[in-house]
Structure 1
Amino acid sequence: MGPADLVQKISISAETPRGSERNGGGGAALAGAEGAAPGGWRHKCAAYVLALRPWSFSASLTPVALGSALAYRAEGALDPGLLLGSAVTVLAVHGAGNLVNTYYDFSKGIDHKKSDDRTLVDQILEPQDVVRFGVFLYTVGCVCAAGLYAVSTLKLEHLALIYFGGLSSSFLYTGGIGFKYVALGDVVILITFGPLAVMFAHALQVGYLSVSPLLYAVPLALSTEAILHSNNTRDMESDRQAGIVTLAILIGPTFSYILYTLLLFLPYLIFCVLATRYTISMALPLLTIPMAFSLERQFRSRSFNKIPQRTAKLNLLLGLFYVFGITLAPAGALPKL
């Protein structure tokens, strides 16, 4: 699944400006937007917003918040402008990556009438619309990155390395090489929506690259990967029929369950170590552990309905409590901060 597959995707069906058939809840949403404010341009804007799948953006915003919190704890200060700029930059690249995923899945015949994402299948938007919007968002991301370089003390080569690494990952997930289609999508997501995004936000704040954000990103990266893995496990049969090879397909249902369980609970083990050895504030993410046990039971029973969505909710809450825990930690209490 693409970057947006980190979250359970909402099915989209709508009447197009040209009058295609209306079906599904997504169509009602777009029809409501059109009815509330007559005019094709408003209908088109609503379609563009839905195509971005904004409900998936927590997967990129949480790492930005974590990287900024780590910088605040290390330096004792935080630049709100850099925080906002880094968030907008990451969101632009994430949104563009979502559109790339939509375009290539459609062009390869993977998306169909029963797919979660039917933006192009139902002609809510035309392929050229998706391409143009994706190019626009990548351009916005590059402009924002240039602006961040102008106001940050981070070296150009370091900023470019991280930024274009993330941009390349968002495109190559389904475009070009298409890591998603050859069982490497999990690796891309694990790196991009964890260490890379956290390091980007941290480096902008402190002005240099550091290894410590990579270490602190591990719990969040594992939790984020759990979203994708639950989604891929649910879609094993349809992905196999479409010719996609995912990690879930390679290892099968039993080992997929074992992997999902590890991805769910390893972050809590890390938080327990941090809380007992360094500061009790790192125990805050443990408040979400009942949700993890509930998800484990649901996955074990192979009742996959809504499980990626529920895993994403856990990821968001765990990430927020993690950020709060780091922010509340006494100065010097955490290692390398």
Structure 2
Amino acid sequence: MSDVAGIAADGGHPSMRRVWWQLARPFSLTASIIPVLVGTAVAVASGAFRAPDLFLAMLVSAVLIQIATNMFNEYYDYKRGLDTPETIGIAGAIVRGLVPPIVVFRGAVVCFAIALVLGLHIVSRTGPEVLIIGVASALAGFLYTGGPAPIAYGPLGELEVFVFMGPVIVGLSYFIHAGSISPAAVWASVPVACLVASILLANNLRDVAADRQVGRRTLPVVLGRRTGLVVFCLLFGVAYLSVVAAAATGILPQSAIISIATVRTPMRLVRQFLATEEPRQLHACVRGSAGLHARFGLLLATGIALGPVLGWHPPAV
């Protein structure tokens, strides 16, 4: 996802450490951290959590796959001539001549390789289904901007992140401890998926004019900006209503409702999108969407983990 500001060079010569830090797009990494925390919180609340090393391996591998995806995004957008030094929301290391394109590509491959090693550790303690899901996740990350038909350049980008950074990561983070999937894990993944999809949608709403010019057919380009904003609102609505419904029916503990404390943020974000179409002004909305996902997710994970203290018991599978 193109959702961090470009490198601010120190006198025109940033350190390589800073260059690689920005290529990783740390601003966006909560998109992979939060679903791991939420899935793990369900495992803790259900009494299924069994191994801190599995949690750490899952967390680091998820983050590494996202970093690799971000680097592939930088590489392939440059190779296709889509990025310039003035492009908003990119790391900008390649177009500014700070690092050769092939080095960025190799960095992404290294991240994938380390994630694979960590994944094999998880597989050795669980089962082969984890390997299949992990490989599928890595492949989805590569195909986001790589391959002959990049997902990022079409209208299915939000659907991809909804699935893989929602139910897949949340469910897998629970499964590696419990060996099964529970209704609580499935329901907990819904708001996480909606809000991570809203980050990408905010990014695409910001860039709708530029994407239309270069031939990208993202969701807002296909549907139109106004309908894209409607989808933006629906994602927020489903995120909050799903938590309320799950807590009201006992699928999630009532303490999960503390995540609703963030409800004013989406209203502010929608107002900002209605007020302007200027990309530089709307970049704050992309950051705001990522911040909402992080705060909501942390509160949701905390509320779920505290469930047993308040007498919650997981529903029978």
Same topology, TM > 0.5 = yes
Equivalent residue in structure 2 for 1:27, among 9, 25, 28: 9
Structure whose alpha-carbon radius of gyration is higher? 1
The alpha-carbon deviation at position 260 of structure 1 amounts to 0.8
- Counterpart CA distance in 2 for 1:289 and 1:333 is 27
The reply to whether residue 44 of structure 1 matches residue 44 of structure 2 is: no
- Counterpart CA distance in 1 for 2:28 and 2:171 is 20
CA contact (8 A) 2:48 2:177 kept: no
The reply to whether residue 163 of structure 1 matches residue 134 of structure 2 is: yes
SS class of match (1:319): helix
Equivalent residue in structure 1 for 2:82, among 105, 110, 122: 110
- Counterpart CA distance in 1 for 2:105 and 2:185 is 34
Give the equivalent residue in structure 2 for 1:298.
272
Aligned CA distance change for structure 1 residues 288 and 45 (closer, same or farther; 3 Å): same
CA contact (8 A) 2:41 2:305 kept: yes
The reply to whether residue 132 of structure 1 matches residue 103 of structure 2 is: no
CA contact (8 A) 2:187 2:246 kept: no
Give the equivalent residue in structure 1 for 2:122.
148
- Counterpart CA distance in 1 for 2:141 and 2:307 is 33
Give the equivalent residue in structure 2 for 1:194.
166
Unmatched segments (≥5 aa) in structure 2 = none
Letter in 2 for 1:147: H
Unmatched segments (≥5 aa) in structure 1 = 13-25, 35-42
- Counterpart CA distance in 2 for 1:315 and 1:30 is 33
Aligned CA distance change for structure 1 residues 146 and 219 (closer, same or farther; 3 Å): same
The reply to whether residue 281 of structure 1 matches residue 252 of structure 2 is: no
- Counterpart CA distance in 1 for 2:72 and 2:295 is 28
CA contact (8 A) 1:194 1:218 kept: yes
Give the equivalent residue in structure 2 for 1:251.
223
The reply to whether residue 335 of structure 1 matches residue 315 of structure 2 is: yes
Residue range with higher mean Cα deviation, 178-187 or 243-252 = 178-187
CA displacement 1:49-89 (0-9 Å, x = unmatched): 22111221100000001111111122353421111111111
TM-score when normalising by structure 2: 0.90
- Counterpart CA distance in 2 for 1:335 and 1:249 is 42
Cα RMSD of the aligned pairs, angstroms, is: 1.9
The alpha-carbon deviation at position 299 of structure 1 amounts to 2.1
What's the % identity of the aligned pairs? 26
The reply to whether residue 9 of structure 1 matches residue 4 of structure 2 is: yes
Equivalent residue in structure 2 for 1:64, among 36, 41, 44: 36
Residue range with higher mean Cα deviation, 242-251 or 297-306 = 297-306
CA contact (8 A) 1:69 1:323 kept: yes
Letter in 1 for 2:307: A
The alpha-carbon deviation at position 28 of structure 1 amounts to 2.4
Give the equivalent residue in structure 2 for 1:19.
none
Give the equivalent residue in structure 2 for 1:206.
178
SS class of match (1:306): helix
CA contact (8 A) 1:268 1:286 kept: yes
The alpha-carbon deviation at position 302 of structure 1 amounts to 3.2
Aligned CA distance change for structure 1 residues 283 and 30 (closer, same or farther; 3 Å): farther
SS class of match (2:83): coil
Letter in 1 for 2:264: P
CA displacement 1:205-263 (0-9 Å, x = unmatched): 12345565333201110011111111101100111111111011111121111111111
CA displacement 1:146-168 (0-9 Å, x = unmatched): 12222x2x212x11121011101
Aligned CA distance change for structure 1 residues 29 and 248 (closer, same or farther; 3 Å): farther
The alpha-carbon deviation at position 30 of structure 1 amounts to 7.7
Aligned CA distance change for structure 1 residues 29 and 290 (closer, same or farther; 3 Å): farther
- Counterpart CA distance in 1 for 2:189 and 2:12 is 37
CA contact (8 A) 2:204 2:220 kept: yes
The reply to whether residue 229 of structure 1 matches residue 229 of structure 2 is: no
Letter in 2 for 1:243: G
